[in-house]
Amino acid sequence: MTTIVSAFISNVNLRKDRDITTYYSLGKCLLQSTTPKIIFLDETMYNLIVKNTEYNKDNTCLIKYNKENIYLYEFIHQLTYFSLDTDNPCKDTIEYMFAMCNKTEFMTEAITADPFQSKNFIWVDFGIRHVFTCSDTMFIEKLNHLHTKQYNKVRIASIWDLKQIYRTDLMKQISWYFAGGVFGGDHRSLLEFADLMKIKCIQIMNTYHTIVWEVNIWYMIYRENPELFEPYKCNHTNTIIENY
């Protein structure tokens, strides 16, 4: 059996196009899946869901989470060269990068807790519903099929051709070798991935005094450890779940 892992942390950026009400609406669809779920939520979203959303408590574990528990905050004062080439600086803040880079740590905590005794785990972004063009019912059905998916490596959504080198500065520009919204696999591979991610993030912060998108760092790890991964082709569309 596979367990979905997700998280939502508010107040990590200043984006105007998607507020907490929008994320709450998107997240409600995720919560309706019959696939077991472990979801980390800040207090604001946790209270919204507990008070206003009907979901199956037998297959859903909600964990209240404080963003300052993210280990990357220990390094925030030394990130003196944080400056990304982005067309949305209100979204792509240091704290947003912290939340994105912590996906593997959320996965580690979920694997350690393992309330549903799962063999595989899959990360699904809390607001991923927004990239789907199908109905809510069809979206939920696609999530329901995930509970049977089993992989022995890190199964990870890939957009760009991993065999090609694209001219992007990994310390400045976002690189879409990986889609970011979905990755999964067996617990051993995921824990190894998380360890490598933490090492690489700390190395980047100590060496370059910055932090970047999680997908950029995942690609750095992939280049050094390709045997750990089992990429699949997709885009930011229904294929991100359908092709898993």
pLDDT band at 17 (very low <50, low <70, confident <90, very high): confident
By the 8 A CB rule, do 209 and 105 touch? no
Q: Can you give the CATH number for the domain in which 35 is found? A: 3.90.550
Per-residue pLDDT of 31-79, as tens digits, reads 999 999 999 999 999 999 999 888 889 999 999 999 999 999 999 999 9
Q: Is the pTM of this model over 0.95?
A: yes
* Residue type for position 67: K
Q: What is the mean pLDDT of residues 11-40?
A: 91
pLDDT of residue 19: 87
Judging by beta carbons within 10 Å of its beta carbon (0-12, 13-18, 19+), is residue 173 exposed, middle or buried? Answer: middle
Q: Which residues contact 80 (CB under 8 A, 6 or more apart)?
A: 209
Other beta carbons within 10 Å of 81: 10
Domain that holds residue 163: 2-242
Provide the number of structural domains found in the chain: 1
